[in-house]
Amino acid sequence: MSGDNDDLAGLRREIDQVGRAAAKRIDPGAGAMVIAVAVLAVLLSLVLPWVGPSTGLEVLLGDSPVLPRVFSWVALVGGVLCSALALALRRWALAWVCALLCFAGSVAGVLSIWTTQTTTGHHPGPGPGLGLVLAVVAVVVLLTKWLRIAMSRI
């Protein structure tokens, strides 16, 4: 009789442990493909022009105004590295980190587009390049996907 109770208690502990482990994991489903394509778009945007003739890699390495450089780092770290890590590990906390980094990146990206169009003189700025616009759109797509995945547990 006592052995049955010990077996049931052990089984209950094991079930609880599996439940806690499952609660920490995410399943992006078909959204993983959209995230992968958006990450690829961010990487592709780095070889396209961002500010004037400067490519995204040149902006990333410091040959640009401050705000596009901040956006390039946030897009690379939050949009590419953190997304890849979150898809590989499938942790709920990483989905939130990705969502928050992509939110910061989308704000910085929209402000980067705005600052490339404005100047203090009467002449217009160089305007955003195709790569900058592509990167901002990709980061906004990543934001929506990661936010949807992170909010699915609430």
Q: End-to-end CA distance of the chain: give it in Å, rounded.
A: 41
Is the predicted pLDDT of residue 77 greater than 90, yes or no? yes
Please report the pLDDT score of residue 134 as a whole number: 97
Confidence of residue 122 (pLDDT cuts 50, 70, 90): low
Q: For residue 13, give every residue at least 6 positions away whose Cβ sits within 8 Å of its Cβ, in sequence order, or none.
A: none
Once rounded to an integer, what is the mean pLDDT over residues 86-109?
94
**pLDDT for 26-46, tens place per residue?**
888 888 999 999 999 999 999
The verdict on pTM exceeding 0.85 is no
Once rounded to an integer, what is the mean pLDDT over residues 119-144?
87
What percentage of the chain reaches a pLDDT higher than 90?
57
Q: Where are the domains of the chain?
A: 27-151
Distance of alpha carbon 93 from alpha carbon 129, whole angstroms: 34
